Amino acid sequence: MGSDTWADLADPFADGAYATVKGRVRTYVMHQQLLEQLPPPSASVLDVGGGAGHQSFPLALAGYEVTLLDPSAAMLDKARERLARLPAEARARVTLVQADGERAEEAVHGRRFDAVLCHGVLGYMEDPAPLVEQLCRCAADGGIVSIMAGNAHAMAVRPALEQRWEDALASFDATSETGVLGVPTWPTTVEEISALLRGRGVAPVRWYGVWLFVDWLDFGGTELDPTDQKQVEAAAAVELEASRRDPYRAMSRVFHLVGRKPSA
C-alpha cells in the first residue's frame, strides 16, 4: 500500500477537525441523512476510507454491522482508540480492514453489503471512477451507495470568505484546489458522480448538502464554541434543514449523494 500519506494528519484530523463545531455538525447531519436511506439494523455497512470511524461507529451503536476499510495504518490506530471507548456490544459489531479503496472488493473477499459508504475520499483522487466502481461492486442487490464529496460548484466560497480575491476568481474555472488539510483535492459535482453510478448499475435516489452556514462562518473568521452544546445543537438543526432544501443544498461546500442498486 506504499507510504502512509495520512500518518502526519491522523491526529489533527481525527482529534482536531471532528472536535470542532463543523466536525460535529457534519457527523450529525450525515448520520441523519443516512438514517433516512439505510435499511433497519442489523444491516451490514462497509465504510470505505472510514478513517477513525466518526461516521460508521454511530451506526454500530445504532445496531448496524460495520466493516471499516482504510489504507492508513495511522488512521486505523485512531479508529482502534475510539473503538475501545464503545460499549462491548457495539465493538463486537465492528471489523477493521486495512486496504486501499480501489481494492475493496478483494479486501472483503467479495462480500456484498447492504450499504457502502465513502465519505470525504473521492475528493483526494483526480480520477474517481475506479473507486466508484469498487463501491458499486461491493453493494448488495437492493443496497445503497453513499458518497460525500466536495462540491465543485461552490469552490469560490472559501477563498472569497478568506478575502483571497484572486484565488476566488480563478476558482470559478479551476478543477482542483488545496484543501483545508493542506493537500491537493479535486472537487466534483452531483451530476458527475451520478453519471458514474448510473454507468455501474446504481440509480441515484437523493442528494443533500453538507456544510453551509457553519462553513461560511468558519472561513469568514467567526469562531464557534464546540463546548456550547445549545449552540451546536441549534446549528446542526439549521444545517440539517438546509441540506434538504433548494437552493441551500446546492450552495453547500460538500454534497452527499445516495444511490441504490436494483433488487435482484
Structure confidence by residue, pLDDT tens digits, 248-261: 999 999 999 999 99
Tell me: pLDDT of 50 over 70. yes
pLDDT value of residue 16: 61
Across the chain, mean pLDDT equals 92
Residue 48, φ and ψ in degrees, nearest 5: -85, 125
Tell me: pLDDT of 83 over 60. yes
Tell me: pLDDT of 2 over 60. no
Give the pLDDT band (50/70/90) at residue 184.
confident
Mean predicted confidence (pLDDT) in 134-153: 97
Residue 253, φ and ψ in degrees, nearest 5: -75, -15
Run of H or E including 68: strand 65-70
Give the pLDDT band (50/70/90) at residue 197.
very high
Between 220 and 90, residue with greater pLDDT = 90
Angle between helices 21-37 and 229-243 (to 10 degrees): 50
Structure confidence by residue, pLDDT tens digits, 203-242: 999 999 998 999 889 888 898 999 999 999 999 999 999 9
pLDDT value of residue 37: 96
Buried b (16+ CB within 10 A) or exposed e, 192-206: bbbebbeebebebee
Give the pLDDT band (50/70/90) at residue 200.
very high
DSSP calls for 9-43: THHIIIIIGGGSHHHHHHHHHHHHHHHHHSPSTT-
pLDDT value of residue 210: 95
Can you read off the three cell numbers belonging to residue 47? 465504510
Mean predicted confidence (pLDDT) in 119-148: 96
pLDDT value of residue 9: 59
pLDDT value of residue 5: 60
Tell me: pLDDT of 13 over 60. no
Q: Which of 151, 114, 122, 95 is nearest to 37 (CA)?
A: 114
Tell me: pLDDT of 15 over 80. no
pLDDT value of residue 163: 93
**How large a percentage of the chain has pLDDT more than 90?**
84
Mean predicted confidence (pLDDT) in 68-83: 96
pLDDT value of residue 1: 44
Residue 207, φ and ψ in degrees, nearest 5: -135, 155
